[in-house]
């Protein structure tokens, strides 16, 4: 194309554009697709002297000032008019809403007036109108433009990019108004983008398709998270573009309009990353200055091996790191430096950095702490070992351990510790130890725990250890604490737990030994003869430690005096030689290890000691002294006073606690109180009175069930030299029935017998145990079997032993049920008990107890006679052994179950020959004896015999069993009646059991009876109409049925003339059936028969009924062809099409009659089928047409 052609095209396009962009009156011009787009804000800033008006979207003119703001629909424009009173420079800038960047070319003119059209296109704008020269603001805008970075890959807000583009479409409408301009063919940052815009200079010529332009693209928004970049697009024609100022004579802008719009592109940006360090085990670290999250350093690496470092996170005191800007991608974070008090984290944390987003790395460090047990061991100062001396103990010492969260010295310790624990020592193997743990803690706070929470730990900080309570026998004074390298402090020690890399150290070690000194004291006493009150010199004594067994001898001096104190005789002088001038020293622990003698302390460690006088020439025939003393105070001399030698005597009187006499019931729990009187005991000393049970006849000791001596003892301290003490014996005396025992007593002091009373023939020391033996029999049979009947008599012969002749006694007997172990009760519900009083003719004898009672309810029971012997109201003896056969009597029982042979039940058909079987179950017979069974069948109401008596002998192998017996009877007259089978068992002709209960179902055979009353349903009489559908109702009465059982009633219609069963048109019998369960033995039930009686005019029909049991056995019938009550007569009517047929032996098939279909039945069915078929065809055809159209 030549230049002339291009010029012609340009002029033609310009003229067309002028036509397209002309408006008759300004108002609001539309350049977007519709006027319903979102409204855009336009704000104004006016600089200098002048006025500004705006013709807004409502075609209204309003004055604006700096700060004014209006809304304009997207794609619409407003006209901004600037007026000055005199000629001046007027400029108008279009900026983003924050006034940072120019979006369109600045218009500058000289004069008093200037207007410009501004389009709301895709974003909010700020319009700055300046009258006169700008005072520094132009430089601000230009400086921002200069600072904008042309970074096409990662543009930022304010960046400005330029390039070339082409108008690819102009959208015109009614009145040749331009609605929108499409720009394409971009070079530079917008390459490949298509953007829509609108005319920015509305009175200038419209753009045309193919028009070449330059553009300025100002970045107004960047969403780095999505990568979306938004900018203002401002396009200017390469040739003939308006300058926005120069107008023609009619006031229109000269040249082509510039195009303004918004363009969106997408870019990838850097992302960000930050690190958040959290805490673990905060119970250890919170409030503890030895732990801080500040100063941790984490390297950020681009490789999994964490070798290529890109950046470093550094944390503050809250665990928050600096934010790093990183390129998109995967990174690996690893701790380089742990913060104070924490372990270095060796883990590597992957993190993905995404454009425009901040990735957070969450980590947690584990604090360092001490999980080494803090061991506090108790030792004895003298032995330097963990073994206590004497009766002392290293268990039970209490330590107060205080923890301070921080590192402190004694001078800087806070007033209040973070936690306090009070611990107590326990013995573990050979060490008395305490440590942090619930099993040692007696009070204080909760312990610190680590992850698993199973063992206490200690955080970094300061710990103090103090023994606050000495164990038994020891003192806190002069106690000290030792570490691995020797003595650390007195009774209080302060140490720190410090960090050592990923570990901790407890300064001074973790195992401490706390040494206490045991209390030591001395004794002194004077030895005198009780009778002469003279001092006894040279008397030897032995002193023994009750705890350790350590013992040494001492001796009184020439004045009968002894003192162990070192200021009387040094402990170290001829130690423990046993002479009057020898020193004494006790210092052996439980392992037999001795400590060094020390004259500065007492001779005896804390303990209880036995002091025993030893036999010598000076105390022959004297009662030797035995006593104890206790050392419990340090540096204290215990004065034992004067030691004398008294004389002793004792006497006893034993009685049964229950009877208050010398007689006792030989029960499993017997209590004997032996009252021992004494003289010559010393007030306040502890004695033991020990008694032993002896067999009076053999003189041997009585043994218990485990072959041990039966003894009892009583410790006591007499208040006076004379008195008494009760010794209580509790033992099982069941084996002592019939025996007498004697109680021997010994008085002991410190395990030495000092007095005895042992006389087998001393009546006061004796206890007698009476004995009973019984033998029970039936008075009639003289056997251990008795028949259960109203008048029962049982004799129990009771033998007694070991009673006192001439005394009056009472025996009370009770019959017991062996099965339940409880008292048997008679038919009246009372316990069966009898008593007899007698005077013992000698130590041994017999008495009889007779039981008379109604025992008809006791069949099958085994009775045991229990007997009790009383003297007054005191129980002396019992014989209550459920397993003693001599005390036992058997009450046999017989139960029968009758059945009819054919039915196997209690029902029978009243026929001529009826076979019955009776099964007799017996209980409680004596095996091996010969018994006879007697059986008879009787009619229930009259008890008239229906059979002869049958007898059958049998010898049972066991007490319980069964036997069968058979009967044959004539039942023709028994319809509606009941037969009962009576059975009786005898031995030697004496009846011992029977079952003769006419009301017993098990013994009974029932012969049911039925009767019928038939009627026509419609007439309620025994006449019916010979019509098609007729109903006969037969009312069947029944007698002698068993309520609750199930019965079946079956009926059939019979032809009265020939006596044959009637059939319907299909040659089927006309029958009825019903199943019922009667509530009473007699009643009625209905049976219904349906038949076609059209051929029965003038004929009679008879109803036959049969009754069956649940197993379908015939048990009654009513089949009398001549019974009028069973007969229905049908009157003559119109001749029926079909009549019932009579069943014959050789029935002939009837000819088949084909009938025409009934209107409304078969024909209607056909019509419906035809209609449905037609409808189906129509539907199928419709579907085929539809599918063809779709294809």
Exposed (0-12), middle (13-18) or buried (19+): which is 600, by Cβ within 10 Å?
exposed
State pLDDT tens for residues 35-89. 456 888 999 999 999 999 999 767 899 999 999 999 988 878 899 999 999 999 9
Q: Which two tokens stand for residue 885?
A: 């056969």
Of the pLDDT bands very low, low, confident and very high (cuts 50, 70, 90), residue 1151 is very low
* Alpha-helical runs (H) found in 178-328: 282-285
Distance of CA 831 to the CA centre of its chain: 51
In a domain, 722, yes or no: yes
The strands making up 324-326's β-sheet, listed across from edge to edge, are: 324-326, 271-279, 358-365
In a domain, 917, yes or no: yes
Q: Pick from 1142, 1158, 1181: which residue ends a domain?
A: 1142
Same domain, 606 and 729: no
Same domain, 15 and 149: yes
pTM of the model as a whole: 0.45
Task: Supply the pLDDT for residue 954.
Answer: 94
* Better-scored residue on pLDDT, 760 or 518: 518
Lowest mean pLDDT among 26-40, 736-750, 1176-1190: 1176-1190
Same domain, 792 and 870: yes
In a domain, 246, yes or no: yes
Of the pLDDT bands very low, low, confident and very high (cuts 50, 70, 90), residue 1185 is very low
Task: Supply the pLDDT for residue 489.
Answer: 82
Task: Supply the pLDDT for residue 54.
Answer: 94
Q: Pick from 248, 266, 284: which residue ends a domain?
A: 266
Q: Which two tokens stand for residue 436?
A: 């942090």
CA distance 1086 to 1090: 13
CA angle (772 as vertex; 768, 777 as ends), nearest 5: 175
If DSSP codes are grouped into helix, strand and coil, which group holds residue 1116? strand
CATH number at residue 392: 2.60.40.10
* Better-scored residue on pLDDT, 851 or 225: 851
Query: Which residue in this structure is represented by tokens 């259960």?
Result: 788
1131 and 925 in contact (C-beta within 8 Å)?
no
Task: Supply the pLDDT for residue 177.
Answer: 53
Same domain, 108 and 135: yes
If DSSP codes are grouped into helix, strand and coil, which group holds residue 475? strand
Neighbours of 170 (CB within 10 A): 22
Query: Regarding beta strands 426-428 and 369-370, do their DSSP bridges make them parallel or antiparallel, or are they unpaired?
Result: unpaired
In a domain, 496, yes or no: yes
Same domain, 233 and 88: yes
Same domain, 579 and 695: no
Element (H, E) at 140: helix 137-147
Query: Which residue in this structure is represented by tokens 């089928």?
Result: 1169
State pLDDT tens for residues 645-686. 765 678 889 999 988 998 998 888 999 999 999 887 888 889
969 and 960 in contact (C-beta within 8 Å)?
no
State pLDDT tens for residues 1112-1126. 999 999 999 999 999
Same domain, 859 and 843: yes
Task: Supply the pLDDT for residue 1190.
Answer: 39
Q: Which two tokens stand for residue 109?
A: 């003119």
pLDDT reading at 750 higher than 70: yes
DSSP at 1176 = H
DSSP at 15 = H
State pLDDT tens for residues 590-648. 677 789 999 999 999 999 999 999 988 888 657 788 889 999 999 999 999 999 876 56
Q: Which residue range(s) make up the domain with 1054?
A: 1009-1142
For residue 41, give every residue at least 6 positions away whose Cβ sits within 8 Å of its Cβ, in sequence order, or none: 69, 70, 71, 72, 97, 124, 125
Same domain, 869 and 953: no
Same domain, 344 and 226: no
If DSSP codes are grouped into helix, strand and coil, which group holds residue 1097? coil
| Size of the chain in residues | 1191
Listed residue (567, 566, 609) closest to 585, CA to CA: 566
In a domain, 360, yes or no: yes
pLDDT reading at 9 higher than 80: no
pLDDT reading at 384 higher than 70: yes
Same domain, 667 and 755: yes
Average pLDDT, the chain: 86
Of the pLDDT bands very low, low, confident and very high (cuts 50, 70, 90), residue 6 is very low
- N-terminal to C-terminal alpha carbon distance within the chain: 53
CA distance 1006 to 753: 89
In a domain, 219, yes or no: yes
Can you tell me the mean pLDDT for 11-25? Answer: 37
Q: What is the DSSP annotation of 1034-1080?
A: EEEEEES--TTS-EEEEEEEEETTT--BEE-TTS-B-EEEEEE--SS
Tally of domains within the chain: 8
Same domain, 251 and 155: yes
pLDDT reading at 103 higher than 90: no
Handedness of CA 965, 970, 972, 978 (dihedral sign): negative
Exposed (0-12), middle (13-18) or buried (19+): which is 112, by Cβ within 10 Å?
middle
Task: Supply the pLDDT for residue 824.
Answer: 92
pLDDT reading at 30 higher than 60: no
Task: Supply the pLDDT for residue 619.
Answer: 81
Task: Supply the pLDDT for residue 1183.
Answer: 37
275 and 315 in contact (C-beta within 8 Å)?
yes
CATH number at residue 739: 2.60.40.3930
Listed residue (41, 93, 90, 32) closest to 68, CA to CA: 41
In a domain, 1189, yes or no: no
pLDDT reading at 146 higher than 50: no
CA distance 841 to 819: 37
Listed residue (406, 291, 281) closest to 338, CA to CA: 291
Share of the chain above pLDDT 70, in %: 89
Share of the chain above pLDDT 90, in %: 61
In a domain, 596, yes or no: no
Same domain, 904 and 837: no
Task: Supply the pLDDT for residue 646.
Answer: 60
Q: Which two tokens stand for residue 558?
A: 């020439």
CA distance 918 to 938: 13
* Better-scored residue on pLDDT, 243 or 1176: 243
Q: Pick from 246, 266, 286: which residue ends a domain?
A: 266
17 and 205 in contact (C-beta within 8 Å)?
yes
State pLDDT tens for residues 973-1032. 999 999 999 999 999 888 888 888 898 899 999 999 999 999 999 999 999 999 989 999
State pLDDT tens for residues 447-503. 999 888 789 999 999 999 999 999 999 999 989 998 877 788 888 999 999 999 999
Cα radius of gyration (the chain): 64
pLDDT reading at 1168 higher than 70: no
1091 and 1030 in contact (C-beta within 8 Å)?
yes
pLDDT reading at 1137 higher than 60: no
């Amino acid at each position: 194309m030549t230049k002339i052609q291009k010029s012609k095209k340009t002029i033609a396009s310009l003229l067309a554009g002028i036509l397209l962009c002309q408006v008759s009156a300004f108002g609001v011009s539309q350049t977007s697709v519709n006027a319903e787009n979102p409204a855009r804000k336009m704000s104004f800033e006016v600089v200098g002297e002048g006025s500004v008006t705006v013709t807004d979207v409502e075609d209204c003119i309003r004055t604006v000032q700096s700060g004014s703001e209006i809304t304009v629909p997207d794609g619409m424009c407003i006209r901004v008019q600037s007026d000055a009173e005199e000629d001046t420079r007027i400029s108008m800038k279009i900026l983003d809403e924050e006034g940072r960047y120019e979006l369109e070319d600045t218009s500058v003119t000289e004069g008093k007036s200037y207007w410009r059209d501004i389009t709301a296109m895709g974003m909010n704008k700020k319009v700055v109108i300046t009258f006169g020269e700008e005072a520094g603001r132009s430089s601000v805008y230009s400086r921002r433009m200069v600072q904008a970075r042309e970074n096409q890959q990662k543009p930022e807000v304010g960046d400005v990019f330029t390039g070339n583009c082409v108008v690819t479409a102009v959208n015109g409408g009614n009145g040749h108004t331009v609605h929108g301009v499409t720009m394409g063919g971009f070079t530079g940052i917008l390459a490949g983008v298509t953007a829509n815009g609108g005319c920015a200079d509305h009175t200038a010529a419209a753009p045309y398709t193919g028009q070449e332009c330059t553009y300025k693209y100002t970045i107004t928004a960047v969403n780095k998270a999505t990568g979306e970049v938004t900018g203002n697009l401002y396009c200017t024609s390469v040739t003939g573009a308006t300058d926005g100022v120069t107008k023609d004579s009619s006031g229109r802008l000269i040249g082509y309009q510039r195009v303004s719009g918004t363009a969106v592109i997408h870019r990838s940006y850097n992302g960000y990353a930050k690190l958040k360090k959290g805490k673990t085990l905060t119970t250890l670290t919170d409030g503890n200055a030895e732990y801080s999250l500040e100063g941790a350093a984490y390297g950020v690496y681009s490789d999994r091996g964490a070798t290529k470092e890109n950046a470093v996170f550094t944390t503050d005191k809250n665990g928050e790191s600096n934010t790093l800007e990183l390129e998109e991608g995967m990174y690996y974070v690893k701790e380089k430096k742990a913060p104070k008090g924490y372990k270095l984290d060796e883990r590597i944390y992957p993190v993905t950095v995404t454009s425009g987003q901040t990735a957070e790395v969450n980590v947690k460090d584990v604090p360092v702490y001490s999980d080494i047990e803090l061991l506090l061991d108790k030792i004895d100062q003298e032995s330097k070992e963990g073994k206590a001396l004497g009766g002392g103990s290293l268990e039970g010492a209490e330590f107060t351990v205080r923890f301070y969260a921080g590192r402190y010295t004694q001078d800087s310790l806070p007033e209040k510790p973070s936690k306090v624990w009070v611990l107590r020592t326990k013995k573990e193997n050979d060490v008395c130890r305490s440590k942090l743990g619930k099993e040692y803690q007696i009070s204080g706070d909760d312990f610190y725990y680590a992850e698993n929470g199973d063992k206490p730990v200690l955080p970094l900080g300061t710990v103090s250890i103090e023994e606050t309570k000495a164990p038994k026998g020891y003192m806190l004074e002069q106690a000290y604490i030792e570490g691995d390298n020797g003595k650390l402090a007195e009774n209080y020690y302060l140490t720190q737990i410090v960090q050592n890399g990923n570990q901790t150290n407890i300064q001074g070690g973790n195992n401490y030994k706390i040494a206490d000194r045991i209390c030591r004291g001395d004794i002194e006493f004077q030895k005198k003869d009780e009778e002469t009150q003279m001092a006894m010199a040279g008397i030897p004594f032995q002193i023994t430690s009750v705890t350790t067994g350590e013992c040494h001898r001492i001796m009184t001096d020439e004045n009968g005096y002894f003192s162990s104190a070192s200021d009387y005789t040094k402990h170290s002088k001829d130690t423990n030689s046993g002479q009057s001038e020898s020193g004494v020293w006790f210092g052996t622990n439980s392992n037999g290890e001795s400590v060094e003698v020390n004259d500065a302390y007492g001779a005896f460690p804390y303990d209880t000691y036995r002091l025993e006088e030893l036999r010598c020439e000076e105390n022959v025939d004297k009662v030797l002294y035995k006593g104890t003393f206790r050392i419990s105070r340090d540096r204290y001399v215990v004065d034992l006073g004067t030691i004398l030698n008294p004389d002793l005597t004792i006497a006893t009187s034993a009685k049964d606690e229950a009877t208050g006499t010398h007689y006792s019931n030989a029960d499993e729990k017997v209590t004997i109180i032996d009252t021992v009187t004494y003289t010559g005991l010393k007030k306040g000393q502890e004695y033991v009175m020990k008694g032993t049970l002896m067999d009076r006849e053999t003189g041997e000791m009585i043994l218990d069930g485990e072959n041990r001596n039966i003894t009892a003892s009583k410790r006591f301290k007499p208040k006076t030299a004379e008195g008494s003490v009760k010794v209580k014996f509790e033992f099982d005396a069941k084996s002592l029935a019939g025996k007498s025992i004697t109680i021997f007593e010994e008085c002991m002091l410190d395990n030495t017998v000092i007095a005895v009373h042992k006389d087998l023939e001393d009546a006061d020391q004796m206890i007698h145990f009476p004995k009973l033996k019984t033998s029970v029999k039936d008075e009639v049979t003289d056997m251990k079997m008795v028949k259960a009947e109203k008048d029962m008599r049982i004799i129990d012969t009771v033998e007694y032993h070991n009673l006192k002749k001439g005394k009056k006694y009472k025996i009370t007997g009770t019959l017991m049920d062996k099965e339940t172990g409880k008292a048997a009760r008679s038919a009246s519900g009372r316990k069966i008990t009898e008593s007899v009083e007698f005077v013992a003719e000698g130590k041994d004898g017999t008495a009889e107890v007779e039981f008379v009672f109604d025992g008809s309810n006791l069949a099958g029971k085994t009775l045991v006679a229990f007997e009790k012997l009383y003297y007054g109201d005191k129980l002396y003896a019992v014989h209550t052994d459920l397993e003693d056969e001599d005390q036992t009597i058997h009450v046999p029982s017989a139960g029968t179950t009758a059945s009819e042979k054919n039915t196997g039940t209690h029902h029978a058909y009243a026929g001529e020959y009826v076979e019955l079987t009776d099964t007799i179950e017996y209980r409680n017979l004596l095996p091996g004896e010969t018994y006879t069974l007697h059986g008879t069948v009787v009619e229930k109401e009259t008890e008239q015999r229906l059979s002869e008596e049958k007898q059958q002998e049998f010898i049972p192998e066991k007490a319980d069993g069964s036997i069968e017996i058979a009967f044959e009877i004539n039942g023709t007259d028994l319809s509606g009646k009941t037969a009962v089978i009576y059975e009786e068992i005898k031995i030697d002709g004496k009846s011992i059991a029977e079952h003769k209960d006419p009301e017993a179902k098990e013994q009974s055979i029932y012969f049911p009876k039925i009767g019928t009353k038939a009627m026509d349903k419609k007439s309620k009489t025994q006449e019916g109409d010979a019509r098609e559908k007729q109903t006969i109702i037969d009312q069947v009465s029944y007698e002698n049925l068993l309520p609750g059982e199930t019965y079946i009633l079956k009926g059939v219609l019979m032809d009265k003339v020939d006596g044959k069963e009637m059939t319907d048109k299909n040659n089927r019998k006309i029958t009825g059936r019903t199943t019922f369960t009667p509530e009473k033995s007699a009643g009625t039930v209905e049976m219904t028969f349906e038949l076609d009686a059209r051929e029965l005019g003038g004929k009679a029909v008879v109803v036959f009924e049969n009754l069956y049991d649940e197993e379908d056995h015939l048990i009654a019938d009513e089949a009398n062809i001549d019974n009028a009550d069973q007969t229905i007569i049908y009157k003559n009517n119109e001749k029926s099409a079909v009549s019932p047929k009579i069943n014959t032996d050789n029935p002939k098939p009837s000819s088949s009659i084909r009938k025409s279909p009934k209107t409304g039945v078969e024909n209607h069915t056909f019509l419906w089928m035809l209609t449905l078929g037609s409808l189906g065809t129509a539907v199928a055809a419709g579907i085929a047409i539809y599918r063809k159209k779709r294809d």
